[in-house]
Chains A and B, each alone.
With several copies, the nearest count.
Chain A
Amino acid sequence: MSALAAGASGAPNPPAFSKSEMMIVAAARELAGQRVCFVGVGLPNIAVNLARLTVAPELELVYESGAFGAQPARLPLSIGDPTIVTGATAAVSMFELFSFYLQGGLVDVGFLGAAQIDRFGNINSTVIGDYDHPKTRLPGSGGACEIAINARQVFVIMRQSKRSFVEHIDFRTSPGNLGGAETAARIRKEQGWLGRGPSVVVTDLAIYHFDESGEMRLDSLHPGATLDQVRETMGWQPKIAEPLATTPDPTAEEMRLIREVLDPEGAYTK
């Protein structure tokens, strides 16, 4: 993950950046205009904090651990860091968090990572292989199952590879667009879900959104990434937007914030 890509936008003195940094920046930009974001463990943590300092100053962070309106004095190392409580506007029980904030429909964007994802944005974070005799036992749902169902929309952030972007996931931990947009919309409506499902997938190579059929569509290639690279790291032939965009380089300010303010030790960006 230390591969550096030179800026491709022709800007003067483009800062060098890693694939992880590009992924974080791209995810942060997608949060423009959003209001309430549910923050899970890992990359979402830094992406949402970057968004709050750039495109979404009004963004309210709801930490899965129960802190609301956090003003961390340092980049929280985990979603349970004590720095997210001191100075927060509220610290609540998990019952309240999951019942009233998440299931109650107050969360605009839920972030999910994934071990496997399919073309309809259905997600596996439970096991690779058979459930009873797994090849790899993954962490499991945590809050992912209920975030996928209840957050108004879902952002996925993950690195892509043949093992992670697959035709068929081994276990469905979090429902996406199920077998397609029509079924998904019907079920979400019938069941009174407040969430509309996945809306964006940001990887180390590209940005995807979901088209009318509920399928992932490649919309923007990160600088330095190629269509061949994308195809080699997916288990299906992706739909491709016309025209296909190139993700703008991280700005100098975005890079400064990541490297000097948010993650000076490189915990997320190594």
Chain B
Amino acid sequence: MTKVASMRDAVAECVRDGDTVAIEGFTHLICFAAGHEIIRQHKRDLTLARLTPDLIYDQMVAAGVARKLVFSWLGNPGVGGLHAIRRRVEAPADGGAFEPLELEEYSHFGMVGRYTAGASNLPFFPLRSYFETDLPKANPLIRPIRSPFGEETVYAVPPLKPDVTIVHAQRADAAGNTQMWGLLGCQKEAAFAADRVIVVVEELVDESVVRADPNRTVIPGLIVDAVVVEPWGAHPSYVQGAYDRDNHFYRDWDAISREAASTQQWLNEWVYGVAGRAEYVEKLGAERLAGLKPSGSAPSGEVDYGVYK
């Protein structure tokens, strides 16, 4: 039974107003294509969870889809701040144009622990972070817990169970068995923690490709609701082996997003103004895409699983 769907259908069916949505991927494999489709479908009141909101949530916040962020590091890596988000965080009272945005803040490991607890049906996840910091005061969901062995106290974070998790990957089969390589982030934990999962891939492959290397499978089709085939779907983020991070765009965004008007103009052109990712890719142009291709191939080599009859 195939789960292959268009991005439009996958988002329409899986993402509902008011949902908690996690588009994960740590620097790598961030699915901008899905974020843009959520904007185009005018979803509202979303709680957006991600370790690093990155440009994708800055864009989604600017487009008005979100009422809350759950995160651990809020910035444009190596460039600076996220201006659309900061506009709603720093001036909630005087700037009548901007509704306040609720923030729920952890550390990286705290977010990883939250997804892990969510995926494991644990009521909490323990970690050594937070002791003697102000984070538990800022976020009352970070709570101390005493070890039943000895005197140590650690902190606990609650499970995070997104309504929808969206992950990008190099490839999947039609049943949703998904393989990825390079930086793995917490794509797996976020997917297992979610009620619904959309996998977006560069390439749809035959089941036999997946079955040839079962240790490479990160997400089993069992938990996947839709498989969307969307080449370049992670741009300006990247896909190991397929294309590079578009660092120029990350820098350009700093200027684009400094004013609400220029931000809206960009959204009009690059999100509302295109029907979907294929049109966006065409608009980027062949030259830009070519500049993002790896300069060469770095094959993994093969291993042998052996036939046992």
Using a CB–CB distance below 8 Å, which chain A residues touch chain B?
A: 36, 41-42, 60, 64-69, 71, 73-74, 77-83, 85-96, 98-100, 102-106, 126, 131, 133-146, 149-150, 171-175, 178, 187, 190-194, 267
Select which of B75, B90, B247 is within 8 A of A136 by beta carbon.
B90
Are the CB atoms of A98 and B112 closer together than 8 Å? yes
Are the CB atoms of A99 and B116 closer together than 8 Å? yes
Query: Which residues 256-309 of B have a CB within 8 angstroms of A?
Result: 294, 298, 305-309
Are the CB atoms of A104 and B192 closer together than 8 Å? yes
- A89-B217, A93-B185, A146-B127 are known; give 6 further A-B pairs, CB within 8 A: A69-B214, A73-B309, A74-B308, A91-B214, A126-B138, A171-B138
CB neighbours of B128 from chain A (8 A): 103, 146, 149-150, 191-193
Smallest CB–CB gap between A192 and chain B, Å? 5
CB neighbours of A194 from chain B (8 A): 121
The residue on B at minimum CB distance from A68 is B220
Are the CB atoms of B132 and A187 closer together than 8 Å? yes
* Size category, B interface: 35 or more
Select which of B137, B211, B212, B245 is within 8 A of A81 by beta carbon.
B245
Judged by a CB distance under 8 angstroms, whether B98 is at the interface is: no
Smallest CB–CB gap between B33 and chain A, Å? 18
A92 to B228, CA, bound (A): 24
Q: Return the CB mask of B96-113 against A: 1 if under 8 Å, else 0.
A: 000000000111111010
A220 to B175, CA, bound (A): 38
CB neighbours of B308 from chain A (8 A): 73-74, 81-83, 86
A133 to B72, CA, bound (A): 18
The residue on A at minimum CB distance from B175 is A89
CB neighbours of A42 from chain B (8 A): 78
CB neighbours of A175 from chain B (8 A): 131-133
CB neighbours of B134 from chain A (8 A): 126, 131, 171-173
Select which of A65, A143, A145, A192 is within 8 A of B121 by beta carbon.
A192
Are the CB atoms of A91 and B152 closer together than 8 Å? no
Smallest CB–CB gap between B82 and chain A, Å? 9
The A contact surface, by secondary structure, is loop
CB neighbours of A193 from chain B (8 A): 128, 131
CB neighbours of A81 from chain B (8 A): 27, 245, 308
Smallest CB–CB gap between A177 and chain B, Å? 10
A131 to B109, CA, bound (A): 21
CB neighbours of A65 from chain B (8 A): 26-28, 183, 185
A90 to B90, CA, bound (A): 40
Judged by a CB distance under 8 angstroms, whether B32 is at the interface is: no
Judged by a CB distance under 8 angstroms, whether B188 is at the interface is: yes
Are the CB atoms of B184 and A174 closer together than 8 Å? no
Select which of A78, A86, A98, A126 is within 8 A of B298 by beta carbon.
A86
The residue in B189, B211, B212, B214 that gathers the most chain A C-beta atoms within 10 A of its C-beta is B214
Smallest CB–CB gap between A157 and chain B, Å? 15
CB neighbours of A136 from chain B (8 A): 90
Judged by a CB distance under 8 angstroms, whether B252 is at the interface is: no
A71 to B309, CA, bound (A): 11
Smallest CB–CB gap between B189 and chain A, Å? 6
CB neighbours of B247 from chain A (8 A): 77-78
CB neighbours of A134 from chain B (8 A): 89-90
CB neighbours of A126 from chain B (8 A): 105, 134-135, 138
Are the CB atoms of A140 and B105 closer together than 8 Å? yes
CB neighbours of B245 from chain A (8 A): 77-78, 80-82
Are the CB atoms of A82 and B240 closer together than 8 Å? yes
Smallest CB–CB gap between A120 and chain B, Å? 11
Are the CB atoms of B220 and A90 closer together than 8 Å? yes
A192 to B151, CA, bound (A): 9
Select which of B181, B210, B223 is within 8 A of A89 by beta carbon.
B210
Judged by a CB distance under 8 angstroms, whether B16 is at the interface is: no
A191 to B144, CA, bound (A): 12
CB neighbours of B298 from chain A (8 A): 86-87
Are the CB atoms of A99 and B186 closer together than 8 Å? no
Select which of A36, A73, A100 is within 8 A of B192 by beta carbon.
A100
Are the CB atoms of B122 and A60 closer together than 8 Å? no
Judged by a CB distance under 8 angstroms, whether B74 is at the interface is: yes
Smallest CB–CB gap between B92 and chain A, Å? 8
Are the CB atoms of A82 and B28 closer together than 8 Å? yes
A181 to B133, CA, bound (A): 16
Smallest CB–CB gap between B107 and chain A, Å? 4
CB neighbours of A267 from chain B (8 A): 78
Are the CB atoms of A102 and B221 closer together than 8 Å? no
Are the CB atoms of A139 and B73 closer together than 8 Å? yes
Are the CB atoms of B130 and A145 closer together than 8 Å? yes
Smallest CB–CB gap between A175 and chain B, Å? 4
Smallest CB–CB gap between B273 and chain A, Å? 28
Judged by a CB distance under 8 angstroms, whether B129 is at the interface is: yes
Are the CB atoms of B186 and A88 closer together than 8 Å? no
CB neighbours of B112 from chain A (8 A): 94-95, 98
A81 to B152, CA, bound (A): 38
The residue in B105, B106, B133, B309 that gathers the most chain A C-beta atoms within 10 A of its C-beta is B133
